[in-house]
Amino acid sequence: MAINRRNFFKLAAAGSTALAVGKAHADDSGLTVDCSDNYGVLVDTAVCIGCRRCELACDQEHTKSGRPPESFDDKSVYEKHRRPNKDAFTVVNEFADPAKPDDKYTMKVQCMHCNDPACASACLVGALRKDAAGPVVYEEWRCIGCRYCMVACPFQIPTYEYDKALEPRVRKCTFCYERITEEGQMPACVAICPNEALTFGTRQRLLEVAHYRIKSHPERYVDHVYGEKEAGGTSWMYLAPAEFAHTELPRLDHSAIPTLTETIQHGIFKSFLPPLALYGLLGLIMHSTREKKDRSEESSNHD
Amino acid sequence: MTSHELPHPIRQTPFFTKGTIVLAILAGLGVAAYLYRMIAGLEASTNLNDQYPWGIWIAIDVATGVALAAGGFTTAALADIFHKERYHVIVRPALLTAMLGYTFVVIGLLADLGRYYNVWHPMLPSMWQGDSVLFEVGICVMIYLTVLYIEFLPIVVERFKGRVNLPGILGIFNDLIESFLTIADRTLGRFISLFIIAGVVLSCLHQSSLGTLMLIAPTKMHPLWYTSISPLLFLLSAIAVGFPMVMFESILASKSFKLKPETSVLASLARYVPVLLGVYCAIKVVDLAMRDAWGYVFDGSFESIMWLIEMVGGILIPMILLSSEKFRNSVRWLFVSSALVIVLGVALNRINVFLVAYTPLYPDGVYIPSIFEVMVTVGLISGLVLVYRLLVMNFPIISGEESGPDRGRRLTKTPIAQEVRQGN
Amino acid sequence: MKRILLTCLVLGALTLMLAPLTSLGQRPMSAHPELDHVDLDCSSCHSCEEPTIQEPCLKACPRHAAMQKTGQHQLSEAPDTIMLAEIADQFQPVRFNHKLHAEMAEMGQDCATCHHYSPEDEIPPCKECHGGEANPTNLRQPSLKGAYHRQCLSCHREWSHDTKCVVCHLPAEGSGVVAMGYDSTDIIGISHPVITEPEKKVYHTPYEEGPVVTFYHKEHIELFDLRCVDCHQEENCSYCHDLQKPAQLAKSQEEVHAMCNNCHLNDACSKCHDTKERPGFTHASTGWELGRYHQGLDCRACHPTGKRISRLSNDCVACHGGWNQENFDHAVTGLRLDELHQMMECEDCHVDLQFTQTPDCTGCHDDGRTAEFAPPGDWINE
């Protein structure tokens, strides 16, 4: 029993070491990965006119849901808050500062393509990975369909083809991976945006643009580039005319989402030492108690 | 009673009783629901959606299943590593529970996986993703399941070595299996300790990692359960529930097979439980205090009530009950008030962490399991009990002695039991 | 540590591999490659030594300063109408009425409402700076598409809440783009929300002999099938949206009458002016009350000539010239002819085809009977 308790303390100690490391990691508000040369998109909701062309372009490029093009002109969809789903990787929603309910502005949501994506950290077979170009890419042939990525995503973006009995896929914005890496084009939604509310470029340049716009039009924007620091930074970033708390974008820490789990995970498996140490310790106990047992074979009954 | 009695197949009760027929019906319904899920897909068979990607198949079939199978490794540690010899009588039942428990965890998991036929992917080194907690859980469960089968092999050897006689055409495999059993018998004895220790280490790893799983969703988890020591709490609760689960089964089995309960062994095993629960409870409370999360306990929300039930009903009450020697020595109290309550308490904890604590960012209704989900889960549990009964009746697992018709009051052995033991 | 190194290596390798695919993959040599050809040092724009993304410490832009010195430009310098035909393969050119917009802008910041760069000599057209495609080296500058759309839509959608392409872009022939059934030459078509036209307007004028002018607005539209712009020509937003309505108050007599005179130029004053309010239009006031068959007809069924409704002859044959005893079912008049009378020609009874007058029986019958008392068939009860 005493040994049992010691065992606990050892594990507790291992756990707290892992936590200490995790703290240090989490407190570091700097980005965990340098993604300044990654591609990103700056969404300027003050310029967005809510025309839903991005939804149309995305549907024609990816989801091909068969909805007629005219259906994307329907503005009545703004009456109800919508979320991306397997048939729509991006949706536009309407928001307003409660203090100024008439000043409506529209905002497109899609996968943020985090710098340090929780979905990719969660995926046990590497079906989701952060590409060096910026997109968080899904390789469906690896996927086993556990949907842990959906649990992990801090933006609740991955959606699932529950309706398929065979080969269901995780569905989310691809950042038009082939278009931007192989064809050298802009993502379909960016290309179609009539007002150029979407700006495509490297993350660093987009941040420059974003801060320039805030500086030059302080009356138009709240001084906050969403995605610059949230969740360790994201490839897609937002400017808005009012506090982001009024939108559907969640309030997030500046530390990357998977920091804690990865710290614990790598703490436990540091060069496989902790498991091996436990193995050795248990072996030692087994060995020593067996000798004791052999010696006191007869008297063991009163224990 | 004699605790040195050897394990033997329990043969004197028929396989089918009223209870097992009910279980068989439930298991049959479960199989039907399982097949429906495989053919029709997840949307038709479950209430899972983009907001709630995980339901009771993960929370109960997998997370709770793994926790309740912890008896296997705690008992192995106690009896085989710490060499508390008197507990050897419960090693085999606990091992069987663990083996079947994990097997059914995998079966349940397959129902939940969208691409269940890709379940082997984590074994390919090209697919390894070391950052993923789920990867670690998956690999550990796979290896541990193998270890459990290896640990079970000696029981198969004991039962069938020299007696392999498959019916009909299968008879051609007799020699092959016979020689396999002979080799296993010769080698296993030497290496079995390595596997036993490996089993304990693997268990510690994935039991704790199950607690790490939900830490990747800080914004969706309720603060009562979102703590960075969640892996430690999962490990401690798994260790704490291990013995109560063994006690629960042992008493259930002895009632069902009309055996005399191993009261003294179980009572002495029960001494550990309040200590283990106490450590678990203390760490949980201290953690809550350190995180300044007390406010959430009494805010009257659904989550706070569930947390209180889990803590008071599942930990404090059994802790107090099992601290009293009087309750420990009563089979009924051991069973109902303690073992059952602790088992349900830990099950509730797993359900709380995986379902209750999880709130989607953009909820569109609440997740309530569908009838098919419930049918599969109930069917799996029923199936597990049936297979357990089948194996216990055919393999030398339980070493209890049969009691008379008045349920374990008399110590006289029935002739059948003697016959069986001679047969061994 | 190893993991980080490995990640760096992998990321680095991938970046190198991807770099040749696009110029964006390369790190810029200077912070602003788009300014490489311009003779500027950092201090031209930045006030601090090491500007960062978060704290760029920008000075006032020299070009902004140039904008402050906006030259005095006259509306006459610019064309009245500008055709925007950059995507003529998909859409017909957008006809931009510069003059109209400039007049509207007088209520705002004049030219600077739209022209953010107005040097003293000449305002350059948008496309001189804004390229056809987004400029990857200068993400601050929208492309021509973005520049145009921002200029138009930022105002237009405010009152229209409409962002359909076809509101401005009429599909080109064979472009595959489907028209949406808008009449983009009318006000409502041009992104204007629905205007609820008034039923009736009563004007009190200084004209002594007939101070009251009653104008049935809705009736006019329906009677003459008018579009808004048929009367409201060249009206800017302030005509309706300026609360002070200075434009209306200052109107001269000619301007007041101009709209009516489009059609009523040769009419007498009493056509509109009266001493009291007039009732609305009924067909009876023309001297011919519509019977049950004519009531259900659209005006244009009889008066097809459009804006100017001509007076029609009361003679039935003026319209129904093709009827004869064979194709006309007399029963619709309420009188079903007996077999004998069915055989007769129309004019045997209706002398000279004057259907409004009493039919004449004396051509055949000399007993002095009239159709009223001895009908040539049966009256159909209704």
CA-CA distance, B64 to B238, in Å (whole number)? 10
Give dist(CA B120, CA B138) in Å, integer: 10
Six token digits for residue A148: 């842990």
How many CB pairs below 8 Å do chains A and C form together? 84
Per-residue pLDDT at B117 exceeds 90: yes
Q: What pLDDT, on a 0 to 100 scale, did the predictor assign at position A252?
A: 93
The pair of three-digit structure tokens given for residue A89, joined into one six-digit string = 């990787």
Question: Residue C42 has which token pair?
Answer: 């950092």
Residues of chain C with C-beta less than 8 angstroms from the C-beta of A266: 3
Contact B216 A257 (CB under 8 A): yes
Question: What's residue C360's pLDDT?
Answer: 81
Q: What is the pLDDT of residue B422?
A: 40
In a domain, C81, yes or no: yes
Q: Is residue C69 classed as helix, strand or coil in its secondary structure? A: coil
Average confidence score pLDDT of chain C: 74
Residue C215, in any domain of the structure: yes
Asked if residue B161 has pLDDT above 60, the reply is yes
Choose from B225-239, C64-78, C281-295 the range with maximum mean pLDDT: B225-239
Q: What is the pLDDT of residue A12?
A: 41
A163/B112 CB distance under 8 A: no
Task: Name the residue among A75, A194, A200 with its Cβ closest to that of C145.
Answer: A194
Q: How far is CA C175 from the centre of its chain?
A: 23
**Is C23 a residue whose pLDDT tops 70?**
no
Collect all residues with Cβ–Cβ distance below 8 Å to C14 and sequence separation of at least 6.
Answer: A131, A132, A133
Angle at C203 (CA atoms; ends C198, C207), nearest 5 degrees: 160
What is the band of A31 on the pLDDT scale with cuts at 50, 70, 90? very low
Number of folded domains that form chain C: 5
Mean pLDDT is lowest, of B219-233, C5-19, C204-218, for: C5-19
Going by pLDDT thresholds of 50, 70 and 90, the confidence category of residue A275 is confident
Interface check for A57 against chain C (CB to CB < 8 A): the answer is no
> Does A42 have pLDDT greater than 50?
yes
| pLDDT for position B1 | 40
CATH number of the CATH domain containing C75: 3.90.10.10
- As a whole number of angstroms, the distance between CA C339 and CA C337 comes to 6
From chain A residues 110-129, the ones with a CB under 8 A of any chain B CB are 118, 120-126
Residues A284-290 have a mean pLDDT of 83
| Domain that includes residue C289, residue range | 284-312
CA closest to C180 among chain A residues: A70
Specify which of A280-289, B39-48, C33-42 reaches the highest per-range mean pLDDT: B39-48
Most confident of A139-143, B4-8, C60-64: A139-143
Structural domain includes residue C190 = no
- The reply to whether residue A195 touches residue C7, judged by beta carbons under 8 angstroms, is no
- For residue B126, pLDDT over 60 is answered with yes
Is the pLDDT reported for residue A118 higher than 60? yes
What's the pLDDT at C346?
82
pLDDT at A273: 83
CA B202 to chain centre: 15
CB within 8 Å: B360 and A303: no
CA angle A26, A135, B131 (to 5 degrees): 45
Q: Is the pLDDT of residue B415 over 70?
A: no
> What pLDDT, on the 0 to 100 scale, is given for residue A146?
94
Query: Is A194 within 8 Å of C24 when comparing Cβ atoms?
Result: no
The mean-pLDDT minimum among A24-33, B143-152, B317-326 falls in A24-33
Does A24 contact chain C (CB < 8 Å)? no
Residue B271's pLDDT band, with cuts at 50, 70 and 90, is confident
**Nearest by CB to A286, which of B44, B81, B220?**
B81
Q: What is the DSSP string of B113-168?
A: -TTGGGTTGGGSGGG--TT-HHHHHHHHHHHHHHHHHHHHHHHHHHHHTT-----G
pLDDT higher at C360 or B204: B204
The enclosing H or E element of B172 equals: none
What is the rounded CA–CA span in Å between residue B28 and residue B379?
Answer: 7
Nearest to A165 among B40, B80, B236 (CB): B40
Highest mean pLDDT among A8-22, A182-196, A272-286, C350-364: A182-196
pLDDT confidence of B335, banded at 50, 70, 90?
confident
pLDDT tens by residue, C266-297: 888 888 898 888 888 888 877 778 877 787 78
Task: Give the span between the Cα atoms of C246 and A155, in whole angstroms.
Answer: 53
Q: C268 in the Ramachandran plot: left (φ > 0), alpha (ψ -120 to 50) or beta?
A: beta
Whether A23 shows a pLDDT value over 60: the answer reads no
A chain contacts of residue C178, beta-carbon cutoff 8 Å: 70
Percent of chain A predicted with pLDDT > 90: 57
- Range B100-114 average pLDDT: 94
For residues B396 and B377, give the distance between their C-alpha atoms in angstroms, rounded to a whole number.
29
More confident call, B342 vs B162: B342
What is residue C329's three-state secondary structure? coil
Please report, for the domain that includes residue C236, its CATH number: 3.90.10
Does some domain include residue C352?
A: yes
Backbone angles phi, psi at C170, to 5 degrees: -80, 135
What percent of chain A is predicted at pLDDT more than 70?
Answer: 85
What average pLDDT does range A240-267 have in this prediction?
91
How far apart CA A109 and CA A92 sit, in angstroms, is 6
Q: Which of A281-285, B97-101, B240-244, C55-59 shows the lowest per-residue confidence on average (mean pLDDT)?
A: C55-59
Give the neighbours of chain A: at least 3 Cβ pairs within 8 Å: B, C
Beta-carbon separation of C149 and A196 below 8 A: yes
Q: Under an 8 A CB cutoff, do C53 and A131 touch?
A: no
Torsion of CA C11, C15, C18, C24, to 10 degrees: 140
Which residues in A lie closer than 8 A to residue B272 (C-beta atoms)?
1, 4
Least confident of A190-194, A269-273, B14-18, B355-359: A269-273
Q: Which of B15-29, B207-221, B350-364, C105-119 has the lowest mean pLDDT?
A: C105-119
| Same domain as C155, residue C76 | yes
Which residue in A11, A121, A143 is closest to B235 by CB distance?
Answer: A11
Q: What is the pLDDT of residues A93-110, one digit of tens each?
A: 999 988 888 788 999 999
Please report the pLDDT score of residue C287 as a whole number.
77
Contact: A199, C139; criterion CB under 8 Å: yes
Does residue C29 belong to any structural domain of this protein? yes
Q: What is the mean pLDDT of chain B?
A: 87
- Interchain CB distance below 8 Å, A144 and B219: no
pLDDT, tens only, C109-163: 777 778 887 777 777 888 888 887 766 667 888 888 888 888 888 777 766 667 7
What pLDDT digit, counting tens, does each position of C340-353 carry?
A: 888 888 888 887 77
Report the distance separating Cα C288 and Cα C298, nearest Å.
16
pLDDT at C282: 82
Query: Which secondary structure element, helix H or strand E, spans residue C73, and what is its range?
Result: none
Domain B18-398 annotated CATH 3.40.50.261 = no
Average pLDDT over residues B279-306: 91
- Please report the pLDDT score of residue B276 as a whole number: 92
Inter-chain contacts counted by CB atoms under 8 A, chains A and B: 219
Q: Domain extents for chain A?
A: 39-116+170-259
Between A268 and A229, the higher pLDDT residue: A229
Going along B150-258, which residue ranges are E strands?
none
pLDDT score, position A3? 38
Between these two residues, B211 and C173, which has the higher pLDDT value? Answer: B211
Q: How far is C150 from chain A (nearest CA, A)?
A: 5
Tokens for B28? 């049959």
Examine residue C173 and state whether it is found in any structural domain, yes or no: no
Confidence of residue C382 (pLDDT cuts 50, 70, 90): low
What pLDDT does C87 receive? 79
Cα torsion at C34, C37, C41, C47 (round to 10°)? Answer: -30
Residue C175 lies in a domain: no
**Neighbors of chain B with 3 or more C-beta pairs under 8 Å:** A
Which residues in chain A touch residue C142, judged by CB atoms under 8 angstroms apart? 196
* Rounded alpha-carbon distances, angstroms, from residue B337 to B247, B307, B332, C149, C350: 12, 19, 8, 73, 112
Cβ <8 Å between C157 and A49? yes
C54 and C76 in a single domain? The answer is: no
CB A236 within 8 A of CB A110: yes
pLDDT at C13: 55
Structure confidence at residue B14 (pLDDT): 82
Return the percentage of chain B with pLDDT > 70, whole number. 93
Q: Test A37 with C15 for CB contact under 8 angstroms.
A: yes
Residues C147 and C234 in one domain: no
CA distance A186 to chain C (A): 10
For the ranges A125-134, A249-258, B244-253, C109-118, the lowest mean pLDDT is seen at C109-118
Q: What is the mean pLDDT of residues B131-151?
A: 92
- On the question of pLDDT at C49 being above 60, the answer is yes
CATH number for the domain formed by residue range(s) A39-116+170-259: 3.30.70.20
- Give the minimum alpha-carbon distance from A229 to chain B in angstroms, rounded to a whole number: 16
What value does the mean pLDDT take over residues A264-289? Answer: 84
More confident residue, C105 or B291: B291
What residue spans define the domains of chain B?
18-398
Return d(Cα A293, Cα C138) in angstroms, integer: 80
What percent of chain C has pLDDT above 90?
Answer: 0
- Residue with more model confidence, A35 or B138: B138
- pLDDT of B414 higher than 70: no
Q: Per-residue pLDDT for A270 more than 80?
A: no
Range with top average pLDDT, A26-30, A137-141, A214-218, C234-238: A137-141
Instruction: Report the alpha-carbon distance of residue B411 to residue B413 in Å, rounded.
Output: 6
